[in-house]
Structure formats: C-alpha cells, structure tokens
Amino acid sequence: MKQYKQRYFIVKLFNNISKEDLIGSVEDTFKNLHGIISFSFSKLKLIYFDEKNNVAVFRCNNEFSDHFRTSILFLRKANVIIQAKIELTSGTLKKIKRKLNMIEKVKSGNN
C-alpha cells in the first residue's frame, strides 16, 4: 500500500476561535470546496492548538497540501470570514516545534 508523505502546517489565525470551532470550520470549508472523498484521503488533522496565541498546527497528506491551503484561504465559520495565514510548512515536526518555540519566546518576551 502506498504511504503518502505528511505535511505539517503552522496556521496563524487573526480571529479568536475555539478549538472545536476551528476543527469544524476547516473541515466544513475543505468538504465544501473539495468534497468528502478528498477530505477523507487528505487525512487532515489538527495536532496542536494554542488558543492564547491563536496558532494551530495541522497535518495532512502532502498530495492535498494545495487543497488545505485553499481551505485556509476560504476559511469561514457560519458565514463569518476568518482570516488566517500559513506561517510555515514542513515535512517534519522538528522544524514546526522549533518555530512554535520561537513564537512562544517572542510572545513571552513581549509580555
């Protein structure tokens, strides 16, 4: 069976949103834009969410990274548009963790 490579995305959100709402919004937007079959094959998953800093980490199959990016572009929760930006993409968690530590340090430095 073919093993697809994973891609990790750090997503910065510019609106306050809860973890449940974020998962729901990304799933709904993805399904509306690309369909349920693409969604199931993408294996999209939220693996980290920092509600304080509005930063999330998603993982999906590399083949569907453009689908995920488009979902982030059109992200909305009950017709309210959510502004978000992909800060970093990586094939490994190591880089992602390093970037998250940097974000944490910058935030704690500002406070």
Partner 1 sequence: MKKFIDIFINPINLEEAKNIITTAKDFGYSIIGFIENENINKIVDICKNLNLEYVIRSKKYSPKRIEKIIYFYEFSNKKETINLVKRYRVDIVSVNINEIYDIDKELINFLAQRKTRLEFFYSEFLKLNFSELIHALPKFREVIVTCLKKGLTPFISSGAKSKEDIRAPREILSFLKCLNIENLDKILTKENLSSIFLYETI
The residues of the shown chain that bind partner 1, judged by CB under 8 A, are 14, 32-34, 65-67, 69-70, 72-74, 79, 81, 83, 85-86
Instruction: Kindly state the smallest distance separating residue 108's Cβ from partner 1, in Å.
Output: 20
Q: Which CB, 3 or 30, lies closer to partner 1?
A: 30
If the CB atoms of residues 3 and 107 are measured against partner 1, the closer one turns out to be 107
Is 46:26 a contact under the CB 8 Å cutoff?
yes
Q: Where are the beta strands (DSSP E) in the chain?
A: 6-13, 45-50, 55-61, 76-77, 80-81, 84-90
2 backbone dihedrals φ, ψ, rounded to 5°: -70, 130
Task: State which residue, 45 or 74, has the beta carbon closest to partner 1.
Answer: 74
